[in-house]
Amino acid sequence: MVEARPRLHAALAGAALLGALVLPAVLAAFGAEYYLSLAGRVLVYAIAATSLNLVLGYGGLVSFGHAAFFGLGAYVTGITIAEGQLSPLVHLALVLAVTGATALAIGAVALRTRGVYFIMITLAFAQMLFYLANSIKGYGGDEGLNLRARTALPFGLSLKDETTFYFVALAVLVALLVAMARFVPSRFGRAVVAMRDDVDRAEALGLATFRLQLVLFVAAGMLGGIAGLLHANQQGYVSPGLLHWTQSGTLMVMVILGGVGRLWGGVLGAAALLLLQEVVGAYTTHWEFVVGIVLLAVVLFARRGLAGLFDRGAAR
């Protein structure tokens, strides 16, 4: 791939990791622990947005229903906790199984379509799951479900503690980014990008496009589910709104904002959007208006997203 300025990127990544590691301590030093929960939210959405970036940015599949996996992961976690089961292995296994199976079912149908039809089918399935979540009276229905406990951690640690949660989420994000960095130049990664560029040509050359895209879709769904698992643990609350199409839209906005098909796209986009909401929200209740203006400006003037700001005229 034509990747510009790898050394600069590596340096920036290193600096970002270092910064992330010391952030809790820095915040504590300034008495700004409140922002730790914001940082935690950024991490969770960074994972969700990065999982969408896999399918949307690298795969070129405009999935407008990704919130479904995020929400499913959260709900599976919430319901399992409500039923008294707190084992992390059980939670992880269930989340992966449910989101994986759902993504397999949705993908098997949706990937037979193209363009706007693909968008609509993914949207439709997500909406169906939203309505389903809305109607399960036993687990909160449209009011949502409060979680009394969290996924259990070893060594007496608790995810109710903001700092612990932060580092767990950070570890997951770092693992995801490392895996993606390995994935992109791999055979699968290259095949995925080729399919994004021209899926018919890729198929004409011998790539089993349906199968490859389905695997990608399922992987992305499962990763979205893991983000949901973390979200449920951080908020202690799950609601059907997590599966609504506007939530899918928000995730897409994060990816597009951060840079579609760029390794850091999901992270930068999530950070930018959430920080923007936070900063603007501190000054005015009309933060939606301001955020909307900023987003519009980004679309009109910064075409490659935030990650693209670190290129300098390199071929994409």
Partner 1 sequence: MSGLFFLEQALNGLQFGLMLFLLAAGLTLVFGVMDMINLAHGSLYMVGAFVAAWLAPLTGSFWLAVGGSVLITAVFGMLLEASVLRTLYARDHLSQVLATFALILILNDGVKMVFGNDLPLSAPPALAGPVEIVPGLPYPSYRLLILGVGLALALLLYLLVARTRLGALVRAGAANRPMAEAMGVNIRALFTGVFGIGAGLCAVAGALLGPLLAVQVGMGENILILAFVVIVIGGIGSIRGALVGALLVGFVDTLGRTLLQQGLREFLAPQWASAAGPALSSMMVYVLMAAVLAFKPQGLFPARG
Partner 2 sequence: MTPPLLAVRGLVKRFGGVVATDHVDLDVRGGEVHALIGPNGAGKTTLVAQLAGQLRSDAGQVAFEGTDITRLSAHRRARRGLVRSFQITRLFRSFTVREQLALAAMAVDGANLDPWRRASDVRAAQARADELLDALGLAGQAGLAIDALSHGERRALEVGLALASRPRLVLLDEPMAGLGPEESQRMEALIGRLRREASLLLIEHDVQAVFRLADRVSVLVNGAIVASDTPQAVRHDARVIDAYLGGAA
State the residue for tokens 């996924």.
151
Distance of closest approach, residue 210 Cβ to partner 2, in angstroms: 9
**Residue 218 binds which one of partner 2, partner 1, none, with CB within 5 to 8 A depending on kind?**
none
Query: Longest Cα pair distance anywhere in the chain, in angstroms?
Result: 60
Q: Which amino acid is at 135?
A: S
**Residue 295 binds which one of partner 1, partner 2, none, with CB within 5 to 8 A depending on kind?**
partner 1
Q: Which residues bind partner 2 (CB under 8 A)?
A: 1-2, 179, 182-183, 185-191, 193-194, 196-198, 200-209, 211-212, 215, 315-316
**DSSP state, residue 137:** G
**Residue 99 binds which one of partner 2, partner 1, none, with CB within 5 to 8 A depending on kind?**
none
Q: How far apart are alpha carbons 159 and 233 in whole angstroms?
A: 7
**Residue 231 binds which one of partner 2, partner 1, none, with CB within 5 to 8 A depending on kind?**
none
Distance of closest approach, residue 246 Cβ to partner 2, in angstroms: 31
**Residue 189 binds which one of partner 1, partner 2, none, with CB within 5 to 8 A depending on kind?**
partner 2
**Residue 312 binds which one of partner 1, partner 2, none, with CB within 5 to 8 A depending on kind?**
none
Q: Is the dihedral of CA 107, 111, 115, 116 positive or negative?
A: negative
Q: Which is nearer to partner 1, 125 or 166 (CB)?
A: 125
Q: How far apart are alpha carbons 121 and 38 in whole angstroms?
A: 33
- Judge contact between 77 and 232, C-beta under 8 A: yes
Distance of closest approach, residue 251 Cβ to partner 2, in angstroms: 22
Q: How far apart are alpha carbons 243 and 240 in whole angstroms?
A: 6
Distance of closest approach, residue 261 Cβ to partner 2, in angstroms: 8
Q: Which is nearer to partner 2, 300 or 315 (CB)?
A: 315
Q: How far apart are alpha carbons 253 and 64 in whole angstroms?
A: 11
**Residue 19 binds which one of partner 2, partner 1, none, with CB within 5 to 8 A depending on kind?**
none
Q: How far apart are alpha carbons 5 and 98 in whole angstroms?
A: 40
Q: How far apart are alpha carbons 27 and 166 in whole angstroms?
A: 12
Distance spanning both ends of the chain, measured CA to CA: 8
Q: Which is nearer to partner 1, 109 or 149 (CB)?
A: 109
Q: How far apart are alpha carbons 14 and 170 in whole angstroms?
A: 14
- Judge contact between 202 and 195, C-beta under 8 A: yes
- Judge contact between 304 and 261, C-beta under 8 A: no
Distance of closest approach, residue 53 Cβ to partner 2, in angstroms: 15
Tell me phi and psi for residue 161, to 5 degrees.
-80, 125
Q: Which is nearer to partner 1, 162 or 311 (CB)?
A: 311
**Residue 303 binds which one of partner 1, partner 2, none, with CB within 5 to 8 A depending on kind?**
partner 1
Distance of closest approach, residue 308 Cβ to partner 2, in angstroms: 14
Distance of closest approach, residue 9 Cβ to partner 2, in angstroms: 17
Q: Which is nearer to partner 1, 7 or 303 (CB)?
A: 303
Q: Which residues bind partner 1 (CB under 8 A)?
A: 56, 62, 109, 113, 116-117, 119-121, 123-125, 127-128, 131-132, 134-137, 245-246, 249, 252-253, 256-257, 260, 286, 288-289, 291-293, 295-296, 298-300, 303
Distance of closest approach, residue 133 Cβ to partner 2, in angstroms: 31
Q: How far apart are alpha carbons 70 and 52 in whole angstroms?
A: 10
Q: How far apart are alpha carbons 159 and 166 in whole angstroms?
A: 9
